[in-house]
A and B are shown apart, each in its own frame.
Chain A
Amino acid sequence: DQQVKQNSPSLSVQEGRISILNCDYTNSMFDYFLWYKKYPAEGPTFLISISSIKDKNEDGRFTVFLNKSAKHLSLHIVPSQPGDSAVYFCAAAQGAQKLVFGQGTRLTINP
């Protein structure tokens, strides 16, 4: 039972354009959401997070949007750069303890 789902296994975007990565969740008890970036043979690194009491959080080129009624969150990267090419995971936390991840989306930024 996949509680956090990333339905797009891959996404290809031109350099300088916007990248939009999507994530859906099923458990309404999740109260904290995060996005991670992962390069091969390395551990994931934290990008940005959002609490369930907010609907938007911005940090530089990265913005996360949360739509609680739709149980959907998205990560926007603007402008996209070649170094953004990686696998992106969304994650959701319940009760500040358990942390559940999606399947990941491989983002490729084309020059």
Chain B
Amino acid sequence: DVKVTQSSRYLVKRTGEKVFLECVQDMDHENMFWYRQDPGLGLRLIYFSYDVKMKEKGDIPEGYSVSREKKERFSLILESASTNQTSMYLCATKRRYTEAFFGQGTRLTVV
């Protein structure tokens, strides 16, 4: 079974803090994704990566950056957390022309 592990289920951070969300997969998939889920807006793509050290902006990259130094790990960074970044964050991984597998999600609250 594919395993996609996100480092935290729940996080509470203060406005202005730098926040790291980690995602690790164990299936050697090329593509990794970060989404956020908000009511009525569905899953919106923040960034994705199709190879080590490669990254592409998704639909809502503002306020975020990513890092992929190793194939199995994809990190999402909030440079200076703001209250409008309170959300459920979901990491996913996939091969070409296959389904994506998701982690369990991280519920981030910025206060």
In the complex, residue of chain B having the shortest beta-carbon distance to the beta carbon of A96: B96
Given contacts A43-B90, A96-B97, contact A101 B43 (CB under 8 A): yes
Flag whether B75 is at the interface (Cβ < 8 A).
no
How large, as a class, is the contact surface on chain B? 20 to 34
Given contacts A51-B97, A99-B48, A101-B35, contact A43 B104 (CB under 8 A): yes
Cβ–Cβ contact B101 & A46, under 8 A:
yes
A97 contact from B41, B48, B59, B102, Cβ within 8 A: B48
Flag whether B68 is at the interface (Cβ < 8 A).
no
CA distance A44 to B35 in the complex (A): 11
Flag whether B31 is at the interface (Cβ < 8 A).
yes
Flag whether A41 is at the interface (Cβ < 8 A).
yes
B59 contact from A32, A41, A42, A100, Cβ within 8 A: A100
Query: Cβ of B99: which chain A residues have Cβ within 8 Å of it?
Result: 34, 46, 49
Query: Cβ of A102: which chain B residues have Cβ within 8 Å of it?
Result: 42
Which residues of chain A from 87 to 111 have a CB within 8 Å of any chain B CB? 89, 91, 93, 96-104
Q: Could you tell me the distance in whole angstroms from the C-beta of A103 to the nearest C-beta in chain B?
A: 4
- DSSP class of A's interface residues: helix, strand, loop or mixed? strand
Query: Cβ of B94: which chain A residues have Cβ within 8 Å of it?
Result: 99
Q: Could you tell me the distance in whole angstroms from the C-beta of A45 to the nearest C-beta in chain B?
A: 7
CA distance A34 to B10 in the complex (A): 28
Query: Cβ of B101: which chain A residues have Cβ within 8 Å of it?
Result: 46
How large, as a class, is the contact surface on chain A? 20 to 34
10 extra A-B contacts, CB within 8 A, seeds A46-B100, A98-B48, A99-B33 = A43-B4, A44-B102, A51-B97, A89-B42, A91-B100, A93-B97, A96-B97, A98-B58, A99-B92, A99-B100
Query: B residues bordering A, Cβ < 8 Å?
Result: 4, 31, 33, 35, 40-45, 48, 50, 56, 58-59, 90, 92, 94, 96-97, 99-105, 107
Query: A residues bordering B, Cβ < 8 Å?
Result: 6, 9, 32, 34, 36, 41-46, 49, 51, 89, 91, 93, 96-104
